[in-house]
Amino acid sequence: MGLFDFFKGKQSQATGSEQANQPEEIPKDLFAEEQVPGENQHELGINTESKGIELIYEFLQADYESRGYNDALTSPDDSYKQDNIKLIKLDLQIVIQKVTTYYEDLIKELDFHITSRSRAGLIDLVEELKTRKDMVLEHAAKVDEIKKEMEDVTSMTQRIILSYQRGFMRGLSAISQSNVMNKKL
């Protein structure tokens, strides 16, 4: 046994006992709940910790123009653009379904607490819970409205499509500028 093997053995024993005392960390990217549909949420500016209607608003306000620009540089094909637009719409539908499920679960939980706290005679708490439920119902109604507006050309959901298309066109223009317009005649 060499000198280095002696120190290596001592080090592995020390780290082994330290590791036994600490719980093993599980990477957060393994959990589906932590992920938001779309390619790169952080690049788009979407906060993965948002819940409810805020998640939809962040999705709608994300930077799709840069994504379109980069996609055009990657593949300047119109079918590629159309496929990515379909993917963005599907991602929005997934976010809407996720938020809808979140609100449905929250309403069930609030109903349970309202019922059980009413039986306990906690009138002020029950009124506070009912107010919270009314707010959740208003947000759920806005989500339903956004869901209905998805195919309307003038709705706010079309912002993401227009932004993506503008970026894609800028990317195509940049390709033409660099490849054709800058060539010497």
Q: 107: closest CA among 133, 87, 85?
A: 133
The CA distance from 149 to 104, in Å, is 20
What are the angstrom distances between the C-alpha of 50 and each of 57, 98, 159, 176? 10, 12, 20, 40
Q: How many CB atoms lie within 10 A of CB 152?
A: 10
Q: For residue 59, is it left (φ>0), alpha (ψ between -120 and 50) or beta?
A: alpha
> Looking at per-residue confidence, does 119 or 18 come out higher?
119
Q: 130: closest CA among 116, 110, 112?
A: 110
Q: Model confidence over 85-112: pLDDT tens digits?
A: 999 999 999 999 999 999 999 999 999 9
Q: DSSP class of residue 178?
A: I
pLDDT at 4: 56
Q: Is the model's pLDDT at 55 over the cut of 70?
A: yes
What are the angstrom distances between the C-alpha of 67 and each of 63, 73, 78, 93? 7, 10, 15, 19
Q: Model confidence over 149-159: pLDDT tens digits?
A: 887 767 887 88
Mean pLDDT of 26-49: 46
The CA distance from 111 to 118, in Å, is 10
Query: Counting Cβ atoms within 10 Å, is residue 168 exposed (0-12), middle (13-18) or buried (19+)?
Result: buried
Boundaries of every domain in the chain: 35-177
